[in-house]
Structures are given as C-alpha cells and as structure tokens.
Amino acid sequence: MDGSKVVVTGASAGIGAALAPMLTAKGATVAVVARREERLREMVGRGDAARYYACDLGDPAGAEAMINAAWHDLDGVDILVNNAAIPKRRSVQDLTQAEIDDTMRTNFESPVRMAQALLPKWLERNHGMVVNVSSFGGRAGIMHEAAYCASKFALCGWSESMAMDLWRTGVDVRLIIPGAIDTEIWDLPDNDEPFFHGDKEPPTTVAAGIIDAIEGDAFELYVPDMKSIAEFKTSSIDVFLRGNVEFVESQNQ
C-alpha cells in the first residue's frame, strides 16, 4: 500500500470518507471523488487525501475524463476504488425509465468506464487493481430496490468476468459485498422509506475490509459476512422470495 496511488469515488461521506484517511495512513497517495466539492476540499485540508475531483458519476463520459485527468495528475493510478452509488427505493410500478437509467449510469456504467479507461495503461505496466464496491443487493433482490439491485448485480457479474479475463495479467479485481451500513444512503430524499430498520455496521468496518481485500488475495469479501444468506437464496429461491414479501407485509401491518 505504501507509495500506491489510489482513487476513491463516493468519498464525501460514508465508506469512502472512512476509507480515504485509512489509505493515507498506510502511505498511499489518495485522490477523492464526489459531487460535494466543499466536503472534498475539507478532506484534503485535513490531510485525509492528497487531492480531489468534484465529479458527478451520473455522467459516464465525465467520469472517464476525470479518471484520465487523475492518471495525468498523479503520474499513474495503481488502485481504483469504485465506491460511489445512489439508491432508488421505489416499487417497479412507480419507477420511471429516467430513474432506472440514472441509477445504472452512476452505479454501473461509470465504474466500468473508469476501469476500462485505466485498463490499457495497467496492462502495459503489468500492474493495477480495481476494487468494485457492490452490495448484498447485488447478490439478492430487495423489495422496492429493483433499479439499485440491477445495477449492483451488473457490477458483480462484470467483476467476476473481468477477474477471469485478467487472470495472471498483473491486474487484479476485488469485489466487496457490504450489508446494511450506516451511511446517508438510507436517508436520501426522493426515495421510499426503507423496510430495514435493524442494526447497521459503521462505514469504518467496510473501509477496513476494503484494505484487507487490497492487501489480500481473495476476490470477494462480504462485510459483514452474509454469504450464507446469499447461498440460501440460490438454493431456495421460492422460499427466499416469499419470506421477504411476508416480512415486508408484516412490517406494514
């Protein structure tokens, strides 16, 4: 990690804001990316990051231009952490096509565009890593989160295929599967009330997990470990679907 140049998206709050100072403390040169420039400027001022890029990842072309600028400014990027994401809690009956498109652009298309922009440079150097932060909603569907889950399922599938295509090239892929994490994503406006009201993990737990994943060899990491639930869904999909519907209905009584 020491001496690595790392770009972290979605860094103005939550997991990204927790991760940046941890990476910096390990000797990495960190560039943070988000829409809220004031928060990014404060992070750089505190020494949590070396530089920032104010960028809306809802614009994939802008995201690609940003990562190319970061490569130039930092004289290379060793690790890209695709952490930025937006929710869209809405039943499929109420989702608009514009909402679906916006969610897919931010949560899937921009991460792909940025990684693909870096890939030729990484392959030339035989070195690089992309860390894709998906969600448990990328392994199991969640009611009223079809657009979000679709984007996260896509990111999981892309990551798996990318890891196989890049096997033994020196370019590594890591996939992070967070569960319920205590971030702003639960409280953002223009979203339905979340069904889940249980305990949530602090962002620092996921940030520490991301560092473990970067420094380790495993492709996939669940934080917290909910892999058994995802495996149960695969083995008993009808029970899983019915159980979730019944749970939500019971919460609304």
Which residues have a catalytic role annotated?
148
Beta bridge partners of 248: none
The span from the CA of 10 to the CA of 152, in Å, is: 15
Angle between helices 146-165 and 97-104 (to 10 degrees): 30
Q: From edge to edge, which strands make up the β-sheet containing 29-34?
A: 51-54, 29-34, 5-9, 79-82, 128-133, 171-178, 220-223
CB 201 within 8 A of CB 181: yes
The span from the CA of 1 to the CA of 12, in Å, is: 22
How far CA 218 is from CA of 163, 164, 195, 197, 252, in Å, comes to: 11, 13, 32, 31, 40
Burial-class residue 190 by CB neighbours within 10 Å (0-12, 13-18, 19+). Answer: exposed
**Structure tokens of 146?**
């079809």
The span from the CA of 132 to the CA of 157, in Å, is: 11
